[in-house]
Every structure is written in structure tokens, then in C-alpha cells.
Amino acid sequence: MAPGAPHLVVRQVSKRFGAAHVLDRVDLTIARGELVTLLGPSGCGKTTLLRLIAGLESPDAGSVELAGRDITRVPPHRRNVGVVFQSYALFPHLTVYGNVAFGLKSRGRSRGEIDAAVGRALSLVHLEHLGARRIAALSGGQQQRVALARAIAVEPDVLLFDEALSALDRKLREEMQVELRRLLREVGATAIFVTHDQDEALTMSDRVAVMFAGRIEQVDEPRIVYARPATLFTLGFVGLSTRVSGIVAGSNNGRVEVDTAVGRLSAIGNFLIGSPVVVAVRPEHVRAAPETAGNCVAGRVRSIVFHGSNSLVEVDAGAATTLLAQIPNDVSAPPRVGDEIRLCWPVAETFAFPMPEAGA
């Protein structure tokens, strides 16, 4: 199959538990060798989507194709999908070797093949010396690696990770993110990570699928998800932003003029005059330097959080509006709490989104 051709195709998949619509017509297409993250808040349906792909749940509607085969009704043991569970789900009655060999035995491989494949998988995760260990005698990080080796050993068509790193402490988690990405590249795996941690999503994946309330809101490269969020939810879930609501007063060629409580702002977007919208900007585009073009708002510095090379400055612009600015710490006169300052940012980095309906 050509690289980039669809390898896993989830088509119009819906799932309900009782009255709750947990997945609502989800579409997702993943190419061979791609690493994709499902990112979203707890309860938005990420695990359910992963379980549907693994065959541990069956969809009410829609289909799943893997490696050119419709697997919608295929039971999990005939899908060739590898899963790394959040709790690792290692078999406590088996050794490290026994765990990694488990799937190979199910597939009826010969003794020699199993030995070779287990050896390969364990050396990929740097645990070749621990084959005889009992699971209970491993650290959390080692258990994580065994779970990974067990899933890789059978060379699955797709690897699924459900919050697989979330049980590790922060430092180990960050190391594992980098190592896991390198390792998956090395074996050419196609993988889906489920996470609610945006840093993990942005670090690990080729593309991020942002999920909210059973729907995929946007699927894009990490930098695009961050810089060009498709929805207000994505904007708020990935990274920091300033958001101001207002009414469209003028619209022209993909640019709108919006009347807000802190004055008239220009933004990118297409809306009818009179539409209620939310105008937003990322803090790193907001400057304290006086500018002539773009959007400008004055206010009083409420707090400053030091972040090394820059500081995150919170500015009270009145009318219950707070602006966030990320100011480099190399400027000659850094702002101080209580200072009156003027913040400006380019129109090209200002987004407008439709105002969410009440209650949404």
C-alpha cells in the first residue's frame, strides 16, 4: 500500500449508552505509519472510540475499516489491533516474557519465532534483561514498557494507547513521550493515542483530533490546531487565549469589525452584520509596545507570572474583560503590577467564532 493511503477509516460511527449519545457520527481517517492523538476532556468519548476500533464495543451505526478490511463486526481476537491500557492490564500470573509472548502463543507461532519476537520487542523497550521478572516486581515505568512490548510483539495493524502515560510521574512521562515517538517511528507503527493532556498531544503526534461531547471538532497537525483552531472549543482546550464577546458591526472580504465592551476590534472571519461572536487572540501575539496597526486595548496590569524567558501578564481592561499577554523578559522596562499599559496585536492573529448558544 502506498504511504499516505487510508489505513484506518472510521466512518460515521455512532454509539449510545442508554440515553447518552457518547459518539455522534464520528469520521476519522488515518494513514499507514501515522501517529494521531485523540485529545479531549474527560467523558467526551475518547475511550469509547478506541474500544470500538479494538472491537471491545460495537457501534450502533457506521463502520470501521482497517488495512483494507471492513472489521465493523469482527471480534477483537481476529482484528490484529494492539492495545496499551491505562492500567497496563499486565497478566500478574505470568513473567515479563510470558506477557510479551502471550499474543504470539495465541497466534500459534513456533517456539523459535516466539523467542525471537519477544527478544526483539523487549530490546526495543530496553528490558531484554528482565524477561524472567514477575510483573509485581517491576516499577511503573517498566510495567509501561512491558505493556508496550506486549502490544508491539504481534506486529498489529494499529496500536491504540488509552491514556497510557498518565500513570507515570511528570518527568518520566515527558521522557517516555519522546522515546515512544522515536520507537513507533522506528517500527513504522500506525498509532492512536488517547489523552486529555494537550502537551502530550502536541508533542507526540503527526495529527491531533480534538474531541468534544462525542464529536471530532478538528483534525489537523499540532501547529495548525494551535495556531488556527477551527472552533471556540479547540481554541479554549489547546493553549491559552484571550476571549472577548461582541456584535459584528462590519464585514468585508473575510474580515469583520466587532463592537465589544473594550472597543472596536478587527478579526478574521465571515459573519453577517449583527451576529454575536467571540473574538480571540493567543497571548504570544499580544505586545506591550505601542503599535499603529492592529487591535489595541488599554488596561491595568493585575498579575505577572514569571516563565523564564517570558512572563505571562494579566491585564484588566475594565468591563469584566481580562487580556493575556506573553511579554519577553528581555525588554528594557518590564511592566509591573498596577501599571497602566496599552496592548496591541495583529488583526491576522485575531479569530472570530460564532457565540455558543446559551447553555452550550
Partner 1 sequence: MSARIAITLAWLCAIGAVVFLLSPLLVIAAASFSPTPVFDLPVGGASLRWYARIGALDGFWPALSLSLQLALLSTALSLVLGTLAAIALARGKLPGAQAIATALVSPLMMPGLVLGIALLQYFRAIGFNATWSALLVAHVVVTLPYVARTMIAGMVRFDFTLMEAARTLGCTYAQAIRRVMIPALAPSFLIAGLFSFLASFDNYPVSIFLTDVRTKTLPIKMLQYIDEAPDPTLAALSTLILIATIVLLLASDRLVGLHRMAGTGD
Instruction: State the cell numbers at 318.
Output: 475594565
Instruction: State the cell numbers at 218.
Output: 478538528
CB of 24 to ligand ADP, least distance (A): 11
Which of ligand ADP, Mg ion, partner 1, none binds 22 (CB below 5-8 Å, type-dependent)? ligand ADP
Question: 221, 238 in Cβ contact below 8 A?
Answer: no
Interface residue with partner 1 among 93, 170, 171, 182 (CB under 8 A) is: 93
Question: 298, 340 in Cβ contact below 8 A?
Answer: yes
Which residues inside 139-198 make contact with partner 1, applying CB under 8 A?
A: 150, 154
The residue among 88 and 353 lying less far from Mg ion, judged by its C-beta, is 88
Closest CA to 354 of 219, 218, 248, 238: 248
CA–CA gap between residue 152 and residue 292 (Å, rounded): 57
Which residues inside 182-211 make contact with Mg ion, applying CB under 5 A?
A: none
Phi, psi of 32 (to 5 degrees): -60, 135
One-character DSSP codes across 82-95:
EEE-TT----TTSB
Assess 42 for contact with ligand ADP (CB under 6 A): yes
CB of 105 to partner 1, least distance (A): 8
Exposure of 286 by Cβ count < 10 A (0-12 exposed, 13-18 middle, 19+ buried)? Answer: buried
Assess 44 for contact with ligand ADP (CB under 6 A): yes
CA 164 to chain centre: 13
CB of 193 to ligand ADP, least distance (A): 12
- Give the list of residues 6+ apart from residue 267 with CB closer than 8 angstroms, or none: 255, 256, 258, 277, 279, 295, 347, 350, 351, 352
Q: Are β-strands 69-70 and 81-84 bridged in parallel, bridged antiparallel, or unpaired?
A: unpaired
CA–CA gap between residue 204 and residue 358 (Å, rounded): 35
Which stretch, 53-61, 196-204, 239-247, 266-274, contacts partner 1 (CB under 8 A)?
Answer: 53-61
The residue among 115 and 174 lying less far from partner 1, judged by its C-beta, is 115
Which stretch, 91-99, 267-275, 292-300, 311-319, contacts partner 1 (CB under 8 A)?
Answer: 91-99
The residue among 30 and 44 lying less far from ligand ADP, judged by its C-beta, is 44
Which residues inside 47-86 make contact with Mg ion, applying CB under 5 A?
A: 47
CB of 47 to Mg ion, least distance (A): 3
Closest CA to 193 of 52, 79, 39: 39
Assess 17 for contact with ligand ADP (CB under 6 A): yes
Under the rule (CB under 8 A), what is the footprint of partner 1? 54-56, 75-77, 79, 81-83, 85, 87, 89-95, 97-98, 102-103, 105-107, 132, 134, 150, 154
Under the rule (CB under 6 A), what is the footprint of ligand ADP? 17, 20, 22, 40, 42-48
Under the rule (CB under 5 A), what is the footprint of Mg ion? 47
